[in-house]
Amino acid sequence: MFGDSLSAAYGIEIDAGWVALLQQRLRAQGKPHRLVNASVSGETSAGGRARLPALLAREPYALVVLELGGNDGLRGLSLAQTEANLRAMIEAARGTGAQVLLLGMRLPPNYGATYTNAFAAIYPKLAREQDVALVPFLLDGVATDLALMQPDRIHPRAAAQPRLLDTVWPALVPLL
């Protein structure tokens, strides 16, 4: 798991985060997979791109779940650079023989329709171009429900974490 605060369980107990819940579900279903959560709160795609090669060199991974780009969008960074960084990470992971699951992100509407639509389009474009699995929007059904979001309206509460896992699970299972 290679992501940002959404996968690093920001603002909640680490064991309540969707990535920890994923490891629990894998064990409960008798799947032998060992999950490495290399997510860092605040990570941008540029930071991830710089950090990923060392992680990939450490040990072989069968699957890399890539959940980055949201902080780029929230900071209004270059969409072309975000796309290039995500593409480079996908290619780096695939270059080691790992499969990739790309977790898409969307931005709040206050960034303007042009920017938010172009940002959201990056993920399906890369999934098609790179032929990788895609979850279109990690926070689907969560981001618009204020009861499931922390007061910052960016990070999901612990109660939302099982929903995040359920959003990822159908795309993840065929890759295991």
2: helix, strand or coil: strand
Burial of 47 (0-12, 13-18, 19+ CB in 10 A): middle
| Active-site option among 4, 7, 72, 155 | 155
The angle at the Cα of 9, spanning 131 to 19, to the nearest 5 degrees, equals 45
Residue 155 known to be catalytic: yes
67: helix, strand or coil: strand
| Active-site option among 33, 145, 152, 166 | 152
CB atoms within 10 A of CB 55: 16
Residue 7 known to be catalytic: no
| Active-site option among 4, 5, 7, 39 | 5
Question: With left for phi above 0 and alpha for psi between -120 and 50, is residue 97 left, alpha or beta?
Answer: left
Residue 41 known to be catalytic: no
Write down the H helix ranges in 61-155: 70-74, 79-95, 113-130
Instruction: Specify the amino acid at residue 124.
Output: P
Q: Which sequence positions are flagged as catalytic? A: 5, 152, 155
